[in-house]
Amino acid sequence: MSSRLVTIHQFSYQHEIIGLIPLLESHNINFHFADLETVTIDPLLSQAIGGIRLQVNSNQVNEAREIVDEFLINKAEAELESEIILNNEFYYKTDEEKCKTCNSEDKVYIKQKSFLSKLFGNKQHNYYCKKCANTWKGK
């Protein structure tokens, strides 16, 4: 039985593959990350050598591609979900406040306080509800 390794995806940095390895292992994919060590030691080399290349057995390409695609989509969604930019201000998700209008608990974002507002003791936080677009000030 012979099978060769096929490159199915390239990653630029080591942190991008966090969470992917256990996923591949749980599906019994035979994989190898080419140049992982090199990029880990010197991330600046990544571009020149074509990044960290995920290689799998040729007979597992389709299955592995599906796993990687799902992994990338979930990751992008999780990143999108946890922070938003609103009117050029940075908001991040909080579960410490409920929306006053729609009662949503899991779509509430809190504004990142600027250095100045911290300095001048502005104690109030600005909240934003992604579900109903309500904004309010709170503790």
Residues whose CB is less than 8 angstroms from the CB of residue 71 and which lie 6 or more positions away in sequence, other chains included: 19, 20, 23
65 or 131: whose CB is closer to Zn ion?
131
Which 3 state secondary structure label does DSSP give 114?
A: coil
Site for Zn ion in 110-139 (CB under 5 A): 129, 131-132, 134
101 binds Zn ion per the rule CB under 5 A: yes
Residue 52 CB neighbour total at 10 angstroms: 22
The least CB distance from residue 52 to Zn ion, in Å, is 41
**Whole-number Å distance between alpha carbons of 79 and 86:** 16
Q: Which of 99, 111, 127, 128 binds Zn ion (CB under 5 A)?
A: 99
The least CB distance from residue 104 to Zn ion, in Å, is 5
Residues that bind Zn ion (CB under 5 A): 99, 101-102, 104, 129, 131-132, 134
